[in-house]
Amino acid sequence: MPDVFADLVGQDDAVDTLRRAAASAAAVLRGAAAAHAAATAGPVDPDDADALAAEAEAEAAEGAGGADPGAGMTHAWIFTGPPGSGRSVAARAFAAALQCLRGTGCGECQGCHTTLAGTHADVRLVVPEGLSIGVGEMRALVLRAASTPSGGRWQVVIVEDADRLTEAAGNALLKAVEEPPPRTVFLLCAPSTHPDDVSVTIRSRCRVVPLRQPAPEAVAEVLVRRGVAPEVARWAAAAAQGHVGRARRLAGDPEARSRRDAVLAVPRRLTGVGAAFDAASALIEAAEAEAEAAVVESDAAERAALQTALGAGGTGRGAAGAMRGAAGQLKELERRQKSRATRAQRDALDRALVDLAGFYRDALTMALRAPVAPVHTDTAALAEAGAQRWAAEGALRRLEAVLECRAAIEANVKPRIAVEAMMLTLWKG
Ligand SMILES: [Zn+2]
């Protein structure tokens, strides 16, 4: 049985760090347990009890630093790396190792299982649904994180996309990280430790675990282990450009594949100004449709749940006041759902742009006769034709147009405007 770190492909340094930290965390717990046992064991020689406690403490200290200060356990961590490198996979694996009954992240015990399944009582996961994580959500979380772990090990809080914290939420988190409850561990995920992503003060309290973009071979290996045919795995890993989750979807989801095909058909379709605007519309609408499909079910379920909770249709005394409160809550829900839909749209559009960038990158490397494998093996012939027509400079201009479009959307330029500008450059060069 592979342990909890098995899916962290191509991240040997990070896995090494996390294994050692988990071992030292386990030693801290053993030390505390031994000290407790010694203190409550009844009529023992006080010297013996002291010796036991001292031994436990020494063991904990050894694990928590000692000769190698890098080995230690600490209460706040930041996992950084490009999207798809496995930041949240790493954070979850580490959480499992902390909750592992064997203290190693064995992958077999109840602690490992429930953590990875997302049902462990002492592991809280914050996944931002909208464009940012609000202060209310963060305060509630910090409050709950301060409670004693029910399983007797650690209270773990994982914040995915910590770069999407609002400033106020970041401050709430900072307070908790500055004065951590003794058994609470914060695991933050962010693209980088740049001040735009994580505030300098939070950064200064955390240990950083940098992850790199895994090589396609490593990603393919994971897919094969999960039962994907080697041929498909290699294709998906290359097409996903080091993004593990994306590779998994491409290998297993026909809809994801056909969306990618539609995106990669764009360069072929750019035959004039009208075609460029049409392509822009098609790309935006595809992203909207994909996002809509992703959120429609949860939107409806949330709305129904809220209406049930509010007892829609109540009458009698107090009903008017209750209705006013209900309207407020519905409005709040709609605001959250809208924010989530916008995020889903941007994410879908960004995935399309990354695919498109891969195509022009292929054309560029072919024009330069660079000895690297193409990202998209299935459109390699088309990229080669582009390379001959545009030469390296033309391919580079087009690649830059795609990257500029991504940056513009990230900087809040209206997606349609950014995509139209990009399409015109992709057509004219
Ligand atoms: Zn375990």
pLDDT digits (tens, 9 = 90+) for 253-304: 998 899 999 999 999 999 999 999 999 999 999 899 888 887 777 788 778 8
Q: Degrees (nearest 5) of the Cα angle 161, 165, 168? A: 165
CA of 103 relative to ligand 1 center, distance in Å: 7
Distance 293 CA to ligand 1 centre (A): 36
Q: How far is the CA of 15 from the centre of ligand 1 (A)?
A: 16
Q: List, as own/partner pairs, every contact residues 251-254 make where C-beta atoms lie below 8 angstroms and the sequence separation is at least 24, other chains included.
A: 251/223, 252/228
How close is the Cα of 102 to the center of ligand 1, in Å?
5
Å from CA of 60 to ligand 1 middle: 20
Which of 25-34, 219-228, 329-338 shows the lowest per-residue confidence on average (mean pLDDT)? 329-338
Average pLDDT taken over every residue of the chain: 85
CA 154 to ligand 1 center in whole angstroms: 14
Higher-confidence residue: 331 or 419?
419
Q: How far is the CA of 64 from the centre of ligand 1 (A)?
A: 20
Q: What's the average model confidence in pLDDT over 7-11?
A: 85
Q: Cα of 226 to ligand 1 centre, how many Å?
A: 20
Distance from Cα 3 to the centre of ligand 1, integer Å: 8
Residue type present at position 30: R
**pTM score, whole prediction:** 0.69
Ligand 1 centroid–CA 408 distance in Å is 45
Query: d(Cα 152, Cα 315) in Å, to the nearest integer?
Result: 47
Amino acid residing at 300: A
Report the C-alpha gap between 373 and 350 in whole angstroms. Answer: 23
For residues 400 and 36, the model is more confident at 400
Instruction: Write the pLDDT tens digit of every residue in 107-164.
Output: 999 999 999 999 999 999 887 666 677 788 888 888 888 888 888 899 999 998 888 8
Cα dihedral sign, 351-356-359-360: negative
Tell me: the pLDDT tens digits for 216-226? 898 999 899 98
